[in-house]
Amino acid sequence: MSELVLVIDFGGQYNQLIARRVRENHVYTEIVSYTKAMDAIREKKPVGLILTGGPNSVYLPDSATIDPAIFSLGIPVLGICYGAQLMSHLLGGHVSHAPEREYGKTEVLVDKDSELFHDVSRNTICWMSHNDFIDTPAPGFTITAHTENCPVAAAEDASRGLYLVQFHPEVLHTQEGSKMLSNFVYRVCGCKGDWKMDSFVETSVRSLREKIGAGRVLCALSGGVDSSVAAVMLAKAVGKQLTCVFVDHGLLRKDEGDEVEAVFGPNGAYDLNFVRVNAQQRFYDKLAGVEEPEKKRKIIGEEFIRVFEEEAKKIGAVDFLVQGTIYPDVVESGLGGESAVIKSHHNVGGLPDCVDFKEIVEPLRDLFKDEVRAAGRELGLPETLVSRQPFPGPGLAVRIIGEVTPEKVKMVQEADAIFREEVAKAGAEKGLGQYFAALTNMRSVGVMGDERTYDYAVALRAVLTTDFMTAESAQIPWEVLSVVTSRIVNEVPHVNRVLYDCTGKPPATIEFE
């Protein structure tokens, strides 16, 4: 069993990033709600705890809190932002409303030597985001850092293994934040760093073989990175007991159904008992008249399950359904922590209540996207497949604002194909995490061929990201965008305007819906 650092979630916006940064140090991490913290600690036996940020003020009566006994368990604890304030509040310090809110990049002055700040510059830039601050640390704590407006930017009771920071070491804007978190897991918690992808793959294949036994398995294969890695992992574990069902729901990118079949079908490189189901009209009928994003996702999620159930009956006595669910899907769907539901992923929060399978198996459920890619490489998948950009399970339905129709799908497919083609032709795709075209629900007046038009606007989006939990808008060269724009308005019917989305995540999500 890998050593575990448990992240106690109080609902802050960066909480998934904390887990991601710890895993970068080859230390396994899970996120649990503060309401289940003590149970999780007893069950999982972590070697360290991290208390996250959150939107509350600790001195309000209904604020999120935790059993103070957590600080007497002999387990090192790091409190971040709200977690730092809560630690101080519960242990006898004082938290108050800050006279000046700190937000953004801030110079932090490290005052004393600390294991947490080992090899960290005395003056370092950190990301602050708080309205309250600790004005008096708890008894036994020593102040180790401050800022111009924050007297307790960091403090510790090293004898008890208790550390707190008012800033956010998990975000990239904190220049030496990764070093601080590494110091916590290695120098404070004493971790060895045994969370390695080769051992994860080997252990997962073995446990899947034991779980499934002689049972039969149906894998929901979309052709994307996640489901492809899950399928090959299952094939390695149970061989011919696996059947992979690819559902073409009519919401794929241009020609993608045929491309997936070419890779995984009878003439492809993998022996996966591949079945293709063409269900385009079925999904269009279910989505007719539906505009609300969450409702679209749930309809698609349920319809996927119904198709898989029907295919399972054709195969006969299928026990397990395998999905390529990954950790960001789980967290954004409101499971596994305390954070709000961002959007229900079709394979998590979008699942129907009743599923006609003995069990749903999700071998990648605990991995972030780049960890899934690493697992794919360990399994021997080609780099072209492992490195392909993500595509959402609900497909173009979440790239079409409002009602989904076959005509709108065709518009997005063509615009997206042009965008991807021109970006690749210009060599501008290097470093991009994801890039695509979406169809807005906005119509506007234009002029084409000396005639008035009243047509749709396409939005182009490209982001830089590694973990897909945060992202920055990519700066696509203007000359590339000009060519793309010209081609889209000339080649895609009913589009007379092209926009470029410059928003990062947060506050936006990568997909539009």
Q: Are both 15 and 62 inside the same structural domain?
A: yes
Return the pLDDT at 432: 92
Residue 68 has pLDDT above 50, yes or no: yes
For the CA atoms of 42, 45, 47, 50, what is the dihedral angle to 10 degrees?
A: -50
Q: Are both 65 and 184 inside the same structural domain?
A: yes
Rounded mean pLDDT, 64-73: 95
Main-chain dihedrals φ then ψ at residue 133, nearest 5 degrees? -155, 160
Structure tokens at 344: 């229900």
d(CA 215, CA 44): 29
Q: Give the residue from 327, 353, 386 where a domain finishes.
A: 386
Whose structure tokens read 């991009």?
432
Provide the domain limits for residue 426: 405-500
Q: Are both 345 and 214 inside the same structural domain?
A: yes
Q: Are both 371 and 412 inside the same structural domain?
A: no
CATH number of domain containing 493: 3.30.300.10
Q: Is 405 helix (H, G, I), strand (E, B) or coil?
A: coil
pTM of the model: 0.69
Helix axes 406-425, 478-491, angle to 10 degrees: 150
Q: Are both 368 and 418 inside the same structural domain?
A: no
CATH number of domain containing 253: 3.40.50.620
DSSP for 264-319, please give it. Answer: HSTTSS--S-EEEEE-HHHHHHHHTT---HHHHHHHHHHHHHHHHHHHHHHH----
Q: Is residue 246 part of a domain?
A: yes
Q: Is residue 341 part of a domain?
A: yes
Q: Are both 419 and 298 inside the same structural domain?
A: no
Can the peptide bond before residue 406 be classed as cis, meaning omega within 30 degrees of 0? no
Return the pLDDT at 112: 87
Determine the distance from the C-alpha atom of residue 311 to the mean position of all C-alpha atoms in its chain, rounded to a whole number: 30
Q: Is 14 helix (H, G, I), strand (E, B) or coil?
A: coil
Q: Hey, which residues are catalytic here? A: 81, 168, 170
Kindly report, residue by residue over 11-47, the tens digit of the pLDDT: 887 888 898 899 989 999 888 999 999 999 999 999 9
464: Cβ contacts below 8 Å, ≥ 6 apart: 431, 432, 433, 471, 472, 473, 474
Number of structural domains in the chain: 3
Determine the distance from the C-alpha atom of residue 369 to the mean position of all C-alpha atoms in its chain, rounded to a whole number: 7
Side-chain-facing half-sphere of 158: CA atoms under 13 Å? 13
- Return mean pLDDT, the chain: 89
Q: Are both 230 and 163 inside the same structural domain?
A: no
DSSP lists the bridge partners of residue 436 as 461
* Cβ burial 396-408 (10 Å sphere, 16+ → b, else e): bbbbbbbebeeeb
Q: Is residue 116 part of a domain?
A: yes
Q: Are both 113 and 179 inside the same structural domain?
A: yes
Kindly report, residue by residue over 313-346, the tens digit of the pLDDT: 898 888 899 999 887 777 665 544 554 443 444 4
**Exposed/middle/buried for residue 18 (C-beta within 10 Å: 0-12, 13-18, 19+):** buried
What number of other Cβ atoms are within 10 A of residue 156's Cβ? 25
Rounded mean pLDDT, 301-305: 91
d(CA 8, CA 34): 5
Q: Is residue 9 part of a domain?
A: yes
Q: Are both 281 and 181 inside the same structural domain?
A: no
Return the pLDDT at 300: 94
Q: Is residue 324 part of a domain?
A: yes
Residue 399 has pLDDT above 70, yes or no: yes
Q: Which of 331, 319, 370 is nearest to 208 (CA)?
A: 319
Q: Is residue 110 part of a domain?
A: yes
On whether the CB atoms of residues 182 and 120 are closer than 8 A, the answer is: no
Q: Are both 125 and 258 inside the same structural domain?
A: no
d(CA 112, CA 349): 46
Q: Is residue 505 part of a domain?
A: no
Q: Are both 174 and 224 inside the same structural domain?
A: no
Q: Are both 302 and 259 inside the same structural domain?
A: yes
